[in-house]
Amino acid sequence: MQQLEELSKVLRKRGYESEVFSSGSLVSEKVCKMVKGHTIGFSNSMTIRRLGLPDSVKNYAKRFFTHIPGRGGEEERRALTADYYLTSANAISMDGHIVNIDGTGNRVAATCFGPGEVIYLIGKNKITETLDEATKRAKWVAVKLAQYYHRNTPCAITGKCENCLSDDCICSVTLIHRKKPYGTDISVFLINEELGL
């Protein structure tokens, strides 16, 4: 927990709201209270699914929009302008850099501008010491996701990033948040559990 508390302080200095949770159930309760009566956008996040949030917020949200992998349609566009957008990160460094790699770009776009508030839900397994390690971890996650979704990419076969330009590539966009951008409220909830990849 001490590592999470230290990181939370760093994130607050970088302009984010940040809080540490000892369990996934506690953070889920907090999120459900926050989003009550609002529209919600969901990224396609294993962490969010593991926390059960797509099902639990149905009882609280006015309406919700979920990303469908490999698509950038109307559902994804509505998620970009929801009152709240729930997502995770591929990696976060102890100096406060949040790193994400995306295929469609909707998830990273939503964390920069559009929704009323972004809520990052990040398990302790995603924390690295440095930005360089966070970037490497994000690439590792992209490879694992390509394998998980049975993408026709070199990395799905070799198990390592091949820097490909395949039509099935899920590494179109890499985003590094070094501080909270202007005009978007962002909360980073750090969870003392291993969640997602």
- Give pLDDT, residue 177: 97
Count up the domains in the chain and report the number.
1
Q: Which two tokens stand for residue 49?
A: 């699914």
Tell me whether residue 112 is in a domain.
yes
pTM across the whole model: 0.93
- Give pLDDT, residue 66: 78
Tell me whether residue 163 is in a domain.
no
- Give pLDDT, residue 95: 97
CA distance 26 to 111: 23
- Give pLDDT, residue 69: 63
Tell me whether residue 160 is in a domain.
no
Tell me whether residue 136 is in a domain.
no
Which amino acid, residue 63? R
Give me the average pLDDT of each 10-residue run along the chain (197 residues).
Answer: 96 98 96 94 91 89 77 76 95 98 89 94 98 97 93 94 92 96 95 95
- Give pLDDT, residue 61: 87
Tell me whether residue 92 is in a domain.
yes
Tell me whether residue 21 is in a domain.
yes
Q: Are 74 and 137 in contact (CB under 8 A)?
A: no
Closest CA to 88 of 71, 104, 108: 108
Tell me whether residue 138 is in a domain.
no
Q: 130: how many CB neighbours lie within 10 A of its CB? A: 12
Tell me whether residue 93 is in a domain.
yes
CA distance 147 to 160: 10
Q: Domain of 81?
A: 2-127+172-191
- Give pLDDT, residue 115: 93
- Give pLDDT, residue 51: 95
Q: What is the CATH number of the domain that holds 42?
A: 3.40.50.10420
